[in-house]
């Protein structure tokens, strides 16, 4: 596991703000050489699983987003999780709760027949239980993911590195498929590499990418091993909140630096969150002190994350 110093942490924060920021710009803002930034980036990729990925916003892409919870027999759960990871419509696959539960994020076309949900899963004999929960609204997550990686730059540095996009943005079309596939592989792919992947000119790629980013149709997420950043304990939190208080509670949770996602969902638990804490004691304090102070939360299920099998996009 990588040992991070101040330059590493500042670089991670910079890429959190703008995953495609040139190394020259990051170096200028951080006060170090471009060569140092490039060298640190390569080391973090190798030792801390650092990765920038370009992703479509599910709502703007016309996708329905689900969290599917599967319980499998102990000797098959890992194989099943890896099989699900090979699918293009899955992300954030986590092995949980003693290694027999899998939680998988599924994106499907809004008008599809939901093949994974309705056909593929029931045919897998090793699965003993399934529940599917549609995400109705993300209060936090995606392009504003876990703030624990974004606390190392000062206000002036943040302002210098935060991109400003003008215009309403453009919707995705079928012609964008090759561009999205390459950005999911490497969000920092050069314009020349993107041009090769799409068959477009570099100037066309630059214009199209700017149009898609402007309105948030495409955003850049940052994957990184959170342990060197201090978050060694992860858990999914499934909460039941009185409907009249759901919006207020979710907006409050969206300000908590311990959380990487907050979303309203269908099912007995109508609010889900992903917590990242320093250790088990810190998670306990968060549950009892911060969440415990919110009386509108009627029930809370804590599901520890043992391992992330797949992150935001396929590798």
298 shares its domain with 154: no
Q: Among residues 284, 283, 294, 285, which one has the least CA distance to residue 252?
A: 294
User: Is the model's pLDDT at 60 over the cut of 80?
Assistant: no
Side-chain-facing half-sphere of 153: CA atoms under 13 Å? 25
Q: What is the pLDDT of residue 75?
A: 84
Taking a C-beta distance cutoff of 8 angstroms, is the pair 241, 271 a contact? yes
- The reported pLDDT for the residue numbered 143 is 62
Query: Whole-model pTM?
Result: 0.85
- What is the percentage of the chain residues whose pLDDT exceeds 90? 63
Range in 49-53, 59-63, 106-110 the model is least confident about? 59-63
State what percent of residues in the chain have pLDDT above 70: 93
- Residues 93-121 have a mean pLDDT of 79
For the chain, the average pLDDT equals 90
pLDDT at 159 over 60: yes
Q: Give domain status of residue 187, yes or no.
A: no
Looking at residue 103, the DSSP 8-state letter turns out to be E
User: For residue 138, is it within any domain?
Assistant: no
Domain shared by 10 and 155, yes or no: yes
Q: Are residues 43 and 156 in the same domain?
A: yes
The first and second tokens of residue 305, run together, are 């994350």
Report pLDDT for 166. Answer: 66
pLDDT at residue 146 in the model: 83
Residues 158 and 24 in one domain: yes
Whether 1 shows a pLDDT value over 60: the answer reads no
Domain-embedded: residue 244: yes
pLDDT of residue 253: 96
More confident residue, 313 or 206: 206
Q: How far apart are the first and last CA of the chain?
A: 20
170 has a pLDDT exceeding 90 = no
pLDDT tens digits along 252-285: 999 999 999 999 999 999 999 999 999 999 999 9
Domain limit, last residue, from 132, 164, 196? 164
Whether pLDDT at 173 is above 70: yes
Question: Which residue is listed with tokens 């759960």?
Answer: 77
Burial of 55 (0-12, 13-18, 19+ CB in 10 A): buried
Look up the CATH number of the domain holding residue 255: 3.30.70.920
In the chain, how many domains are there? 2
Distances (CA, A) of 146 to 13, 37, 140, 256, 273: 11, 22, 9, 9, 11
Identify whether residues 154 and 261 lie together within a single domain.
no
Q: What is the DSSP letter of 32?
A: S
According to the model, what pLDDT value does residue 145 have? Answer: 76
CA dihedral over 170, 172, 174, 180, signed as positive or negative:
positive
Q: What is the pLDDT of residue 122?
A: 60
Checking if the pLDDT of 314 tops 80, the result is no
Q: What average pLDDT does the segment 233-251 reach?
A: 96
Cα 311 to Cα 23: distance, rounded to the nearest angstrom: 24
Query: Quick check: is 19 in a domain?
Result: yes
User: Quick one: 152 and 298 in the same domain?
Assistant: no
Distance CA 103, CA 29 (A): 39
Cα dist from 95 to 99, 119, 122, 236, 292, whole Å: 6, 22, 19, 11, 26
pLDDT at 116: 65
Report the pLDDT averaged over residues 133-154: 86
Question: For position 74, what pLDDT does the model report?
Answer: 83
What is the C-alpha separation between 120 and 216, in angstroms, rounded? 32
Residue 301 lies inside a defined structural domain of this protein: yes
Domain membership of residue 16 as a residue range: 1-48+147-164
Q: Is residue 264 part of a domain?
A: yes
pLDDT band at 112 (very low <50, low <70, confident <90, very high): low
Q: Decide: helix, strand or coil at residue 22.
A: coil
Tokens of 233: 């304990």
The answer to whether residues 220 and 163 touch, using CB atoms and an 8 Å cutoff, is: no
Q: What is the mean pLDDT of residues 236-248?
A: 96
Q: Is the residue at 21 inside a domain?
A: yes
Label residue 115 by pLDDT band (50, 70, 90).
Answer: low
């Amino acid at each position: 596991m990588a040992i991070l110093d101040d330059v590493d942490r500042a670089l991670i924060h910079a890429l959190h703000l703008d995953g495609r920021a040139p190394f020259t710009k990051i170096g200028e803002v951080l006060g170090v050489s471009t060569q140092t930034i490039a060298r640190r980036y390569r080391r973090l990729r190798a030792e801390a699983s650092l990765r920038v990925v370009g992703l479509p916003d599910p709502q703007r892409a016309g996708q329905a987003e689900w969290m599917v919870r599967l319980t499998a027999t102990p000797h098959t759960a890992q194989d099943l999780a890896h099989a699900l990871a090979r699918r293009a419509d899955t992300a954030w696959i986590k092995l949980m709760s003693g290694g027999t539960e899998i939680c998988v994020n599924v994106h499907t076309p809004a008008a599809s027949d939901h093949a994974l949900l309705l056909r593929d899963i029931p045919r897998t004999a090793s699965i003993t239980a399934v529940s599917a929960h549609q995400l109705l609204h993300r209060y936090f997550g995606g392009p504003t993911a876990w703030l624990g990686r974004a606390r190392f730059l000062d206000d002036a540095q943040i302002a210098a590195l935060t991109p400003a996009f003008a215009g309403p943005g453009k919707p995705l079309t079928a012609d964008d498929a090759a561009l999205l596939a390459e950005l999911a592989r490497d969000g920092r792919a050069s314009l020349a590499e993107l041009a090769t992947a799409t068959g477009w000119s570099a100037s066309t790629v630059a214009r199209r990418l700017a149009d898609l980013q402007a309105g948030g149709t495409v955003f850049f997420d940052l994957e990184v091993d959170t342990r060197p950043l201090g978050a060694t304990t992860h858990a999914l939190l499934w909460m039941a909140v009185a409907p009249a208080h759901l919006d207020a509670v979710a907006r409050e949770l969206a300000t908590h630096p311990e959380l990487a996602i907050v979303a309203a969902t269908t099912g007995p638990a109508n609010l889900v969150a992903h917590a990242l804490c320093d250790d088990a004691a810190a998670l306990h304090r968060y549950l009892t002190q911060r969440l415990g102070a919110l009386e509108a939360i009627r029930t809370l299920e804590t599901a520890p994350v043992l391992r992330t099998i797949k992150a935001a996009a396929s590798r």
